[in-house]
Amino acid sequence: MKVNFINFSDPKDHKCFLITGGELILKQEVVEIILVKLKSAGFNEKVSISQDELERMQEIASRNMGGSLFQENLILHIKHTSGKFPEKIKLFLEDAEIFNSPNIALIVESSIEKTPASGTWIKNFDANGLIINCSKLKIMEEKIWLKRQLNFLPKDLLPIFGSSIFQNNEANLLGQKNEVSLLKLLFLNQDKMSEAKTDHIIFGSGISAFELEDLLLNRDFKKALKTINFMKEHDRQNSAPIIWIIAKVINSCLESLKSSNKKSALINSGVWSSKINLYLNLIKQATAKEFLSLNEEILKVDLINKGLMKAETWEQIERVILKLQDATSLQN
């Protein structure tokens, strides 16, 4: 049975899976779903076999086939990462007993984009397993995927954050995933978040949470502090988006400073191409040590905002902005 990623959600009763395509983020997501399902079915042991270790497949499978009470329920995870689909895997999958053994669950992860129309191995898989294609998503599919990632957000906030993340990271699932992970860290456990109104994310000062990023990147710290002070006085409940934006800037800068290829690190962090030079200019005189300290500071602010540490959230936000100003000063 074949299915595209966007239509996959439940492995159901299958225990043999072929995952194809080049989108690593999607493949990782599929593997995680499958492993949870298999473990709930009693498959608690997993052996991973890389492309350089294919000769081990038959030996490991033979030890666990047969259905004996004394044999472990084993997940055999075979990884093919480049080139043509290996003949060794084809020969291994031509044995129907592999699919019928109650003690073996099979995950074959391959870089091939399309499966062949004929061949004993693919016919065995089509009849006895599930083939999941994880190729590049179409624009609408990508938006559906992102919406699923943001299912922790209240419905009224989803359009605001969803559209911004997509606009900044279109066709970059890793960038989207990174931003969603950060957003989830900040938003989960937020009291009354479901009561937040969409128009409160566009602050009364006329500055949106996302425009704050531009103020920081352009070193307009005076206006950034003025905006934060306005928020402190008029919209104290909506500190989470502010913390998220500041954390995004700090985290992206830190990853860039730690890397030998600063531009590539920014792209992988989900920074929009039009803002790459702004980020590079911001960290021109900065050090990774300074941003590591800033990263620790903004994480503390998040804990304070969630009530897990004692301090005043808005004062700590202002403190981080001033430290960011010092760290990125061209006078360093």
Cβ proximity of 105 and 39 under 8 Å? no
Mean pLDDT of 16-39: 95
For the record, the structure tokens of 65 come out as 């086939």
Question: Measured between alpha carbons, how far is 227 from 205 in angstroms, rounded to an integer?
Answer: 7
pTM over 0.75? The answer is no
Question: Measured between alpha carbons, how far is 93 from 58 in angstroms, rounded to an integer?
Answer: 10
Cβ proximity of 239 and 304 under 8 Å? no
Question: Measured between alpha carbons, how far is 298 from 125 in angstroms, rounded to an integer?
Answer: 49
Cβ proximity of 252 and 279 under 8 Å? yes
Cβ proximity of 124 and 152 under 8 Å? no
For the record, the structure tokens of 108 come out as 């074959």
Give the Å distances, CA to CA, from 25 to 78, 172, 177, 290.
Answer: 17, 10, 8, 31
Select from 281, 276, 271 the least CA-distant residue to 219. Answer: 281
Cβ proximity of 279 and 204 under 8 Å? no
What distance, in Å, lies between the first and last C-alpha atoms of the chain?
Answer: 61
Secondary structure of residue 131 in the 3-state scheme: strand
Q: What are phi and psi of 57, to 5 degrees?
A: -55, -55
Alpha carbon 213 to its chain centroid, in Å, reads 21
Residues in the chain: 332
Give the Å distances, CA to CA, from 60 to 54, 65, 76.
Answer: 11, 9, 8
What is 158-201 written as a DSSP string?
A: HHHHHHHHHHHHTT-HHHHHHHHHHHHHHHTT-TTGGG--GGGT
| 208 pLDDT more than 80 | no
- In CATH terms, the fold of domain 139-327 is Zinc Finger, Delta Prime; domain 3 (1.20.272)
Question: Measured between alpha carbons, how far is 306 from 310 in angstroms, rounded to an integer?
Answer: 10
Q: What percent of the chain has pLDDT over 70?
A: 88
The tens digit of pLDDT for each residue in 232-252 reads 876 666 687 788 889 989 999
Q: What is the second-level CATH architecture of the domain 2-133?
A: 3-Layer(aba) Sandwich (3.40)
The tens digit of pLDDT for each residue in 66-118 reads 655 556 899 999 999 999 999 999 999 999 999 999 999 999 999 999 999 99
Secondary structure of residue 5 in the 3-state scheme: helix
- Provide the residue ranges of all domains of the chain, joining segments of one domain with +: 2-133, 139-327
Looking at per-residue pLDDT, the higher value among 330 and 7 belongs to 7
pLDDT at 145: 96
